[in-house]
Amino acid sequence: SKWKEPLKEEGRKKKPNLMQIVYGASGSSDTALMNENRENSDDEESDDEDFFKPKGEQIKKLGGGWDVGYVNSEECSKFVNYGNLKNWKEKEVCESIRDRFTTGDWSTAGLRNK
Amino acid sequence: MEKTIYKRLKGSQSFRQRLLLSTLSSTPILISEIRDDDMIPGLRPYEISLLRLFETVSDDCSVVINETGTQFKYKPGIIMGGKNLVHNCALSRSIGYYLEPLLVLGLFAKKPLSIRLRGVTNDAGDPSVDTFRSTTLRILTRFGVPKEGLDLKIEARGVAPGGGGEVLLTVPNVQSLTAVQWTDEGMVKRIRGTTFSTRVTRDFEHSMRYAARGIFNNLLPDVHISEDHKAGTQAGKSPGYGISLYAETTTECVISADTAVSYGRTDETGELDAEKEVRLPAEDTGVQIASWLLHEVEKGGVVDSTHQGLLFILCALCQQDVSKVRVGTLSPNGVETLRNIKEFLGVKFGIKPDTETGTVILTCVGSGLINLSRKLS
């Protein structure tokens, strides 16, 4: 019915469809992401100093942790980003994952897999 | 002779997975434009080394690389396995890089695999050999791989840049893998791990253990981190230290985190990578890895982000049955893996976020890969 439609759309906006992110929207190639990255790198070339920089280096600069889809990315299964780790020395931070440990509340932990 | 039809691919991305999936699915591949924009174009020494490793464990495969190394053809052969094999890994990537595809390859070989790998055992970029022992091998047993004959012995440790480490890997063969229903990550019941030091004083290890333990004190009493100080020929060629930790849950899931600190490698141009030259003190290393482990536990999932790729590949290789697994946030490598699996095996996963726990549930029907070369006993 009509009144449901705006609601449905709202719901779609909130949750990105993981299937589409991973496999690309219905058949379109997932290389769009990579081409975008590379075009950006060309724009930044305007400085005279950077004129004779080898191409590879600029990509290195741009390529942060998440360089999925870039044709010549390095393959590495270990995914680390120590930069924005929480301060686990603090008690309150630890309490937030208390129920993931056997020292926490077993009933709430059990709910996870219901 | 019939003409070989090659699957055409581009770039150096997913090099290992492409080789592995190409071999398992007997799909010849032709990869072009490998780093053709780079200052030093073409395949890297570690990629060549990986190709040689694939040649070592299989029969009848053919590798043709062009002059600049920007293009190569690979026609997979029969995975043989076998005993007393030796491979010297290029030192620019640690042994973990080579072990990841080799493990899966070994399962589908004709004979049980027993191979000695020499090189860098621990570094910051790839999973350490300790993590393989504690975590990776256990993931395989979930899929019906027998525990007997599945082992990784660390005979000598070696860090970058000199290497000099040595491990002995043995992998049994399977007929096929069993599908899993693996969505209960359980609660963390204990934390274990090990530190190591080569060619430096063991005081570094003490600092790391003490610091790491301090992080876990608020959460769990059952923490034990052992030490492994190496000397003489067992300590490799370069000084360094490192730590590998893992958390075991009530449902026997294992979450891992590891790193190592040593002198940086020189890159292809012969210059030291400026970023990597900053070495973290032992105490901070301990805090960092302990924190990362808790971060991985917080994310949830039956495996950590490092093992997502392996998990998906195993699910996709299973007998034609439904597998269901839970992971934390999808890692970049996990996403790449899902795409490669679809490309080579035609297996597409159903991916659903579980909003309540912030995890992701993946389901797939295995491709039903059967090990045809294995001799029936």
Query: Residue B16 and residue B22: Cα distance in Å, rounded?
Result: 10
| Total structural domains within chain B | 2
B309 with B287, same domain: the answer is: no
DSSP string, B22-76: HHHTT--EEEE-SSTTSSS-S--HHHHHHHHHHHHHEES-EEEE-TTSS-EEEE-
pLDDT at A113: 66
CB contact under 8 A, A89 and B126: no
* Cβ B211 vs Cβ B284: under 8 Å: yes
pLDDT at A34: 42
User: Is B330 contained in some domain?
Assistant: yes
B294 with B273, same domain: the answer is: yes
**Segment 339-368 of chain B within 8 Å of chain A by CB:** 339, 342, 348-353, 355-357, 360
Mean pLDDT of chain A: 67
Sheet holding B62-65, edge to edge: B7-10, B29-32, B72-75, B62-65
Query: Residue B192 and residue B222: Cα distance in Å, rounded?
Result: 8
User: Is B309 contained in some domain?
Assistant: yes
B308 with B216, same domain: the answer is: no
* Distances, alpha carbon B135 to alpha carbons B140, B192, B339, in Å: 9, 11, 24
Residues in chain A closer than 8 A to B39 (CB atoms): 54, 56-57
Last residue of a domain, one of B258, B275, B299: B299
Last residue of a domain, one of B299, B332, B357: B299
pLDDT at A80: 83
B234 with B318, same domain: the answer is: no
Least confident of A29-33, A95-99, B168-172, B211-215: A29-33
B315 with B289, same domain: the answer is: no
B35 near A CB under 8 A:
yes
User: Is B199 contained in some domain?
Assistant: yes
Query: Residue B125 and residue B171: Cα distance in Å, rounded?
Result: 24
B198 with B262, same domain: the answer is: yes
B203 with B295, same domain: the answer is: yes
Under the banding of pLDDT at 50, 70 and 90, the label for residue B343 is very high
CB contact under 8 A, B13 and A72: yes
* Cβ B160 vs Cβ B120: under 8 Å: yes
Under the banding of pLDDT at 50, 70 and 90, the label for residue A64 is very low
Specify the CATH number for the domain of residue B247: 3.30.360.20
B259 with B200, same domain: the answer is: yes
pLDDT at A41: 42
CB contact under 8 A, B187 and A54: no
Tokens (6 digits) for A9: 């759309």
CB contact under 8 A, B13 and A73: yes
* B149 pLDDT more than 70: yes
User: Is B356 contained in some domain?
Assistant: yes
What is the distance in angstroms between the Cα of A57 and the nearest Cα belonging to chain B? 8
User: Is B333 contained in some domain?
Assistant: yes
Contacts of B151 (CB under 8 A, 6+ apart): B137, B168, B169, B170
* B271 pLDDT more than 80: no
SS (HEC) of A38-49: HHHHHHHHHCCH
pLDDT tens-digit map of A43-63: 444 455 555 655 555 444 444
B283 with B334, same domain: the answer is: no
Nearest chain A residue to B93, by CA? A76
Strand-pairing partners, residue B65, are: B72
pLDDT at B133: 96
User: Is B1 contained in some domain?
Assistant: no
The predicted complex's ipTM stands at 0.86
Query: Residue A35 and residue B54: Cα distance in Å, rounded?
Result: 32
Residue in the block written with tokens 């973990």: B96
* Cβ B190 vs Cβ B248: under 8 Å: yes
**Segment 114-133 of chain B within 8 Å of chain A by CB:** 124-127
| Buried/exposed A19-54: b ≥16 CB within 10 Å, e otherwise | beebbbeeeeebeeebeebeeebeeeeeeeeeeeee
User: Is B310 contained in some domain?
Assistant: yes
* B95-107 vs B15-24: helix crossing angle, rounded to 10: 10
The whole-number average pLDDT for the span A65-94 is 80
Range of the domain at B324: 304-365
A21 near B CB under 8 A:
yes
B294 with B308, same domain: the answer is: no
Nearest chain B residue to A108, by CA? B187
Under the banding of pLDDT at 50, 70 and 90, the label for residue A39 is very low
Q: Which of B154, B174, B175 is nearest to B166 (CA)?
A: B154
Least confident of A103-107, B224-228, B288-292: A103-107
B281 with B349, same domain: the answer is: no
* B45-57 vs B15-24: helix crossing angle, rounded to 10: 20
Query: Residue B108 and residue B17: Cα distance in Å, rounded?
Result: 15
Burial class (CB in 10 A: 0-12, 13-18, 19+), B102: buried
Least confident of A91-105, B79-93, B289-303: A91-105
User: Is B119 contained in some domain?
Assistant: no
Under the banding of pLDDT at 50, 70 and 90, the label for residue A12 is low
* Cβ B135 vs Cβ B79: under 8 Å: no
* Cβ B244 vs Cβ B193: under 8 Å: yes
Last residue of a domain, one of B253, B270, B299: B299
Looking at chain B, the whole-number percentage of residues with pLDDT higher than 70 is: 96
* B39 pLDDT more than 90: no
User: So where are chain A's domains?
Assistant: 1-66, 81-114
